[in-house]
Structure formats: C-alpha cells, structure tokens
Amino acid sequence: MFVLHVNDESGYFMWNIVKAEIVKITAKPRSYIGFVAITVIVGLIHLAMYLDGLNYIGFITTPVQTNFVLEGKILNGNLVWFLILQTLIIQIPLLVALVTGDLISGEGAMGTIRLLATRPVSRGQLLTAKFIAGNVYVFFLLLWLGILALGLGLWFFGPGDLIVIKSDALTILQSQDTLWRFLSALGIAFLSLMVVSSFSMLLSCFSENSIGPIISTMAVIILFTIIGTMDIPLFDLIKPFLFTTHMVIWRNMFDQELQWDEIWFSLSVLLAHIFLFFGISMMAFRKKDILS
C-alpha cells in the first residue's frame, strides 16, 4: 500500500504525488497492454523480415533496381529498426491513449476523485502529477520499443547502412551515422506522444468514464492520419494545422541534410499543442464538478 507523505518542501511533495500516480498506473493491467503489444509486433516484424525480408526490400526498391544495382547488405538491423519505428509510431498513440485517457475519468468512474480532492493537494498539483506520471509511462513505452527494436534488429541482422524509403525518394545513410539519428527520432517521438497524452488527458477531464476519452483520442488520430495520407488539394490546406502532421517530423532526422527550420517549427508546434492542451485541462479540472 502506497502512503502519500505530505511535506512542506514543495518539490519533495510533488515528487510524492507523482510517485503515487505512477504506482496507480503500474497497478492497472491495461498499462501493460502497450508493452505486450509492442513486444508481439516487434517480434513478428523481425520474424517476417528474417524469413521474407529480401523479397520485401526487392519490392519496395523495384523503381531503383530497374536501372541500378544496389550493392551491399541492404537488409540489416538499422533498416528493420527504422521499419518498426515507422510502423509503430502510427500505432503507439493508441496505446498511449489507453492509459492517459483514463487518468482523470478513471478516478471519476471509480469515485476516487472525491477522495483525492479531500487530500491536502491542490487540483493543479494533482493534474500536474498525473500529467508527469502519464509521460513517464510514455517514456518507458518508447524506451522499451527502442531497446527491443534495436537489440533484436542488431542481433538478427547485424549493423549496416540504412535505406530510408519515402514515397518519392530514397536516402542511404552510413551505418555510423544512424545511432544519433535514431535517438533524436525517439526524442521527437516522445514529444509527439506527449501531445497525445495531453490531448487524451484533456478529453479525460470532460468525461466521467474512460471509454469516451480513449475512443475519442483514437478517432481524432485516425481521422487526422487519413487526412494526412490522402493527396487531395483541400486536405493539403488543412494538413499544416493538424498535430499529426508535425508528429511525423521524427522522420526528417533521417534526411541526408537536415532541414532544421522545418524540424524546429514542427517541434514548436508540438510544444504549443502540449501547453494548450495542458492549459485547457488545468482550467477544466480546477472547475470540474466532482460532487455530481
């Protein structure tokens, strides 16, 4: 049983609340769905690439191989890591929402929010602690993805130059030039997922059950992703205003020459979304009626 120690030192006090929130997240079985899903998907992708990776690579590089020969070890741990990141970063927001969408509304549904509010903790501190704890969960989810994808990738396939496949271009990065890019990409992915966690927490503030915020977050991400995928002129006008457009900026870390202006702009848009969502959440949660 975790006991909340109240202390005058605000930093220590805050840390205790965060710890309490982390313990609550770890106590819920749903928090492990993400880790299990990542483990299964990463394992399956590695198995598929091990058994049939060369055919897959052959298929996606066909436009190049009609005129040229690609010499060298194309199927390698770095490529598999990249493919996993590219595939999973679309799905991870859904796994994140599963936990962060429940942070406030879950308390409401169980009736524990009233109990929490009787503690000598302000609503602002409580929300901040939940926000931090939610993002600690996101951090460990991404860390698990990074370790698993890289570790298994290098173990099965070994290192090698990375072919980054875009719909209209190919970039080939030298093996020694990839690790820092992967780590930066994970850092940017973390910021992107913080947008998702703050958005789902915002929805969670307006709901009395967890299903609503989780499903709504997923629906918004799916809708924005579909708009982002379709090359329709009307959608091209909307795309810059969707946070999902800026969430994929991690891919720009794999350009041969980095477009820093574009990267910084997207990072600031993501940060602005985090502050905006968290700010609205704070206002909503402070005025939230917990008695009804």
Nearest to 100 by CA among 193, 235, 183, 208: 193
Work out which of 87, 122, 209, 268 binds another protein, going by CB under 8 A: 87
- Least distance in Å: CB of 173 to another protein? 8
Residue selected from 132, 144, 190, 255 as contacting another protein according to rule CB under 8 A: 255
CB 17 within 8 A of CB 4: yes
Nearest to 285 by CA among 202, 216, 198, 213: 202
Instruction: Return phi, psi of residue 105, to 5°.
Output: -65, -30
Shortest distance (Å) from residue 164 CB to another protein? 9
Q: Establish if 123 lies at the interface with another protein (CB under 8 A).
A: no
Count the neighbouring beta carbons within 10 Å of the beta carbon of residue 239. 15
Q: Is 160 one of the binding residues for another protein (CB under 8 A)? A: yes
In the bound complex, what is the minimum distance in angstroms from residue 14's beta carbon to another protein? 36
Residue indicated by tokens 């709901």: 207
Counting contacts by CB under 8 A, is residue 245 touching another protein? yes
Figure out which of the listed residues 73, 132, 190, 290 binds another protein, where binding follows CB under 8 A.
73
For residue 228, state whether it binds another protein (rule: CB under 8 A): yes
Residues 168-207 that bind another protein (CB under 8 A): 168-172, 174-175
CA distance 255 to 172: 9
Q: For another protein, which stretch binds (CB under 8 A), given 21-29, 201-209, 241-249, 278-286?
A: 241-249
Under 8 Å between Cβ of 163 and 71 = no
Among 94, 132, 248, 280, binds another protein (CB under 8 A): 248
3 state SS of 189: helix
Nearer to another protein, 104 or 162 (CB): 162
Q: What secondary structure letter does DSSP report for 102?
A: T
Token pair recorded at residue 281: 């959440």
Among 104, 133, 163, 263, binds another protein (CB under 8 A): 163
Classify residue 290 by burial, with Cβ atoms within 10 Å: 0-12, 13-18, 19+. Answer: middle
Q: Are 128 and 13 in contact (CB under 8 A)?
A: no
Q: Which distant-in-sequence residues (6+ apart) come within 8 Å of 175 by Cβ? A: 76, 78, 159, 160, 161, 162
Select the span of 36-44, 121-129, 165-173, 283-291 touching another protein (CB under 8 A): 165-173
Which of the stretches 18-26, 27-35, 68-76, 105-113 binds another protein when contact is defined by CB under 8 A?
68-76
Asked whether position 272 contacts another protein by CB under 8 A, the answer is no
The footprint of another protein (CB under 8 A) covers: 60, 63-64, 66-74, 83, 86-87, 90, 160-161, 163, 165-172, 174-175, 225, 228-229, 231, 239, 242, 244-245, 247-248, 251, 255-257
